[in-house]
Amino acid sequence: MFVDNIRIFAKAGKGGNGLASFRREKFIPRGGPDGGDGGNGGDVILEVASGCNDLRSFFYDPKLIATSGRDGMHVRKHGRNGKTMVGRVPLGTIIYRSNASSMHEATFLEREGDGIVLEQIADLTTPGERFMLCKGGMGGRGNWHFKTATNRTPSEFEYGTECEEGVFFFELRRIADAGLVGYPNAGKSTLLGAISAASPKVASYPFTTLQPIVGVVEYPNFNRVVVADIPGIIEGASRNRGLGHEFLRHIMRCQVLLFVVDMSGMEHNPIEAIATLRAEISLYSDEMATRRWVIIANKMDDEAAEENLAMLRMRFPKIEIIPISAAEKTGIEGFKTRLQELIVAETAHNIHIAELKSVREAAELAAAEEAAAEEAAAELAAAEEAAAEEAAAELAAAEEAAAEEAAAELADDETQSEQDVVPS
């Protein structure tokens, strides 16, 4: 059984409560407070494990629950911390947080509600990488922390804090450099077995491959290329025909898409097969349809293969076509060499694009900071100008009021002087 997506419930441990107690011993009449602190709750952590290939371990037990911290004890004894729960996930797992608080609510929202809202919170792409899914609560402080010079017998203590919990969705996307895409019986599994040490099941009936398989192509210069083989795609996969688009997520990380076609033409016309596969890829992801792609013309040992190859070159003159025979191992070494060149070129191109993106983002950030600085300077200048105008207006008003007051006092003095003059 292969499981590449699962829904789980995760809950960290609560923090233990602090204790309010006092030291009671013989010959010690005033022992003072001695309540200990509560223990911290355990965390829920996800770890990328090298020996883990899928999410099967969560299928029968879809929960990760850490233990809570113990309460504080007498004589300032610290409560025991909760045990951390570590979940092992395969490389390439994407973590989503849902808006549901319980598994029951998640099921209701999926079936009868408005649907689940998912937020991507992690993409685990490094071996040994750890991600904290839920943080445990902090233990509360005991009453001995609250003793002061004026409060020698405090009864205060702290309760432990609550923990994080929620419903999460895990989705596995294989990490590969190149992905094999094609109809059932196109020879993808045979090709993967010919270029790597992988041993996929090979048989003469459709849908032999029912789950993604990853193979590693080794080179003499100690380089390697990871190739993913996904189950066959047929027309109407976007409408869930065959295995649908269930496994296309596993080539979302691929730099190059390798479209494997059966050049014998016994089951499908090669040109129509390529057109159908490209259409299904576009229906699944517009971004994936823009990636570099190459046609692998397989089964060239058939009598009709050369004629079909000529027609295929005429139909796709700008697309690189590599003729091989995986069963006879014809053209395999040349294909492996060309595959390494493609991956090296795409890696360099992606690095260049990432550098350009970083430069553009840095330029945009600098421009935004400059605009913000100019706006702040303009606002400061306007504020200073307004303050200066207001101060000038206040000064003018004060001077005018002082002048009026002085004039009034002068007039009063003159009137008083006239009244003081006695007529002769």
CATH number at residue 116: 2.70.210.12
- pLDDT value of residue 289: 85
* pLDDT surpassing 60 at residue 244: no
Please report, to the nearest 10 degrees, the dihedral formed by the alpha carbons of residues 30, 36, 37, 39 taken in order: 180
Q: How far apart are the first and last CA of the chain?
A: 132
Residue 266, helix vs strand vs coil: coil
- pLDDT value of residue 423: 56
Query: Rounded CA gap, 369 and 373, in Å?
Result: 6
Number of domains in the chain: 2
Task: Say whether both 224 and 127 belong to one domain.
Answer: no
Confidence of residue 17 (pLDDT cuts 50, 70, 90): very high
Task: Say whether both 31 and 65 belong to one domain.
Answer: yes
Query: Rounded CA gap, 325 and 310, in Å?
Result: 16
Which residues lie closer than 8 Å to 91 by C-beta, 6 or more apart?
A: 48, 50, 124, 125, 126, 127, 175
As a whole number, the mean pLDDT across the chain is 86
Query: Rounded CA gap, 232 and 206, in Å?
Result: 8
Confidence of residue 225 (pLDDT cuts 50, 70, 90): confident
CB 363 within 8 A of CB 369: no
Rounded average pLDDT over 118-130: 90
Q: Are strands 44-48 and 85-89 parallel, antiparallel or unpaired?
A: parallel
Query: Tokens 């629950």 sit at which residue?
Result: 65
Identify the domain boundary among 353, 388, 415.
353
Rounded average pLDDT over 390-401: 89
For 49, counting Cβ atoms within 10 Å of its Cβ (0-12 exposed, 13-18 middle, 19+ buried), the class is middle
Task: Say whether both 156 and 236 belong to one domain.
Answer: no
pTM over 0.85: no
Measured CA distances, 293 to 318, 321, 326 (Å): 11, 10, 19
Higher pLDDT: 210 or 87? It is 87
- pLDDT value of residue 265: 83
Q: What is the pLDDT of residues 317-329, one digit of tens each?
A: 999 999 999 888 8
Higher pLDDT: 5 or 249? It is 5
Task: Say whether both 105 and 133 belong to one domain.
Answer: yes
Q: Are strands 224-229 and 178-182 parallel, antiparallel or unpaired?
A: parallel
Confidence of residue 210 (pLDDT cuts 50, 70, 90): low
Task: Say whether both 140 and 220 belong to one domain.
Answer: no
